[in-house]
Structure 1
C-alpha cells in the first residue's frame, strides 16, 4: 500500500504554527510558515510524499515557490496526474530505475502541454525530487532546496550535503525548462551500512538569522540524543520560530537502516 500526502502552503499556511506529522512508518514532515511578527502572511512551500513500506521505497518532492504558490500547485497536480507512470517505474530493478525516472521527469517538464500551463501561472518554484530504494538515494534538483545525508562514516570526512544549491533555476512562468537546454542537477548515492539519515529542507531553515544551520553539521547536531526524527524536526522548527524567522520552512526527514555492505577502498578490505 502506498502512503500519500500532498500539500501546498496556499491551502494551509502554518504561519505562527509548527506542524510535525508522519507519512507511513518512516517519513517525517515538518512545516512552519514563519512568524507574523516578522511580517509573514503566506506560505509558498509545498511537498508531495509517496512511500510504500512493503515495497521499501520513499519518493519525495519538496518545493519552494515565490511570487505565488501557483507554480508549486501546478507541479504537484502534474505529478499526481502521472502517478501511475511513476509507480510503474518504481517497480523496476535499480539498474534501470533511476535513468528511467530521470527521463520521465524531463519528458513531463518539457512537454508542450506543461510548458503552456507554466505560462499561465504567476511565479516559479524550486523543485527537489528524491527517491530512496534499496541501498540507493537518487535526486533530481532544480533550484536551491537542500538534500543532506548523515552517516558517521560520511561525517568523519565532512560530507553531508548531496546536491548543491543552484540559483536562477525554476519551474513555472520563467521556467529553465522552457529553454533549448533544461538546467538541473541529478545524482545517485550509495547508502552506507547502518543508519542513514536523509534530510530535505527548503531554504528558510538555512537562511534563518542568528542560527548556524547553513552548516549541515549543526542541523544534525539537533538530532543527537533525541529519540525520534519527529522530536528532532520539531526542535529545529522551534529554534527558528524563537529566532523570529520570517521565511517558511518545510522539512522532510527519515532514517533508513541499510544491512547491505557499502563500497570501501580496496586497500582497506
Structure 2
C-alpha cells in the first residue's frame, strides 16, 4: 500500500499518562497527553498525515489547541474536505505542486465558510503544515509549533530550526486571518543530498521543565543516536519522566535525497 494516512484529534483519545508511537508510511507519529499527576486532564493537540510514496510526497499537520479542541477539530475537518484538491496539487511535479500549495492553503484559511465557522468556535489553535515533495520542503505556520530539518551539511553551519515560534497567532475563535493583514509564516527549503530528518512538534516537548529540548541540537542527538522511531519514543519518555503537564505531539520522518543540492559558485 503506497498511500497511508492518519487523522487524530486529542479528545478522541487523550494519551494522558500514556506514550504512543506509530508509523504512517515512512512517517513516525508520537503522542503523549501529559501527566495526570501534574494536572493534565485533556488533550487539545491534533494531527493529520497523508503520504504517497509513488508520487514522492508527505503532507503533515500538527495542531496545538487552546481552551478546547473545537478549533483543532474544525481545522482538521476542513482540510479533510479539501483532501482531493491538496492531493491533486501534490500529484504534480515539485515546481507547480508547491506553487499551487502557496495559494491553496491560504485560500482554505480565508474561505468565508471556514472563517464563519471559526467565529462560532470556542478556543483557538496553533497550526503547522509541512509538505515534502521530491527534494523540497514547504511549510505554512500559524503560531508556535516547531519544525527542524537535520542534515550534516546544515548542522555544520548551525542550521536546524526552520520555523521560529511565533506567539499570539491562532486559528479559531481568535483568528489571525480576521486581521486586516493576516499573520503567518511560510517558506520553502531545498533539502541536501543524502539523509534528511524532518521533525515537527508542539510545544509540550520544548517547554517541559528539566529537559533541554528547546535546543534543537539535543533533539538531533537523540534522533541520530536512536533512529527516528526509537528516538521519538525516547523524547516522549523524557518529558513524561520529567512530569510535564502539557501534551506533546511529534511528527518525524527521514528522506534520502539522491539529487545534488545547490552549492556556492566558488566551490
Short-chain TM bin: over 0.9
Secondary structure of 2:63's counterpart equals: strand
The unaligned stretches of length 5 or more in structure 2 are: none
- Bigger shift: residues 93-102 or 234-243: 93-102
Tell me the equivalent position of 2:259.
260
The whole-number CA distance in structure 1 between the counterparts of 2:50 and 2:126 is: 19
The whole-number CA distance in structure 1 between the counterparts of 2:111 and 2:98 is: 20
TM-score by length of 1: 0.97
The whole-number CA distance in structure 2 between the counterparts of 1:179 and 1:114 is: 15
Tell me the equivalent position of 2:12.
11
Tell me the equivalent position of 1:172.
172
Secondary structure of 1:117's counterpart equals: helix
Tell me the equivalent position of 2:30.
30
Tell me the equivalent position of 1:238.
237
The whole-number CA distance in structure 1 between the counterparts of 2:93 and 2:151 is: 25
Structure 1 residue runs of 4 or more that deviate by more than 3 Å after TM superposition? none
The whole-number CA distance in structure 1 between the counterparts of 2:73 and 2:223 is: 31
CA RMSD of aligned residues (A): 0.8
1:94-118 CA deviation, whole Å, 9 max, x = no partner? 2222221121111111111111100
The whole-number CA distance in structure 2 between the counterparts of 1:44 and 1:212 is: 23
1:4-42 CA deviation, whole Å, 9 max, x = no partner? 100010110000000000001x10000000000100010
Q: What displacement does 1:2 show?
A: 2.3
Q: In the comparison of the two structures, how many residue pairs are matched? A: 266
The whole-number CA distance in structure 2 between the counterparts of 1:224 and 1:3 is: 25
Q: What displacement does 1:224 show?
A: 2.8
Q: What displacement does 1:229 show?
A: 1.3
The whole-number CA distance in structure 1 between the counterparts of 2:108 and 2:146 is: 23
Secondary structure of 2:204's counterpart equals: helix
1:123-161 CA deviation, whole Å, 9 max, x = no partner? 000010010011000000110000000011111111100
The whole-number CA distance in structure 1 between the counterparts of 2:55 and 2:206 is: 33
The whole-number CA distance in structure 2 between the counterparts of 1:10 and 1:224 is: 32
Tell me the equivalent position of 1:138.
138
The whole-number CA distance in structure 1 between the counterparts of 2:121 and 2:12 is: 16
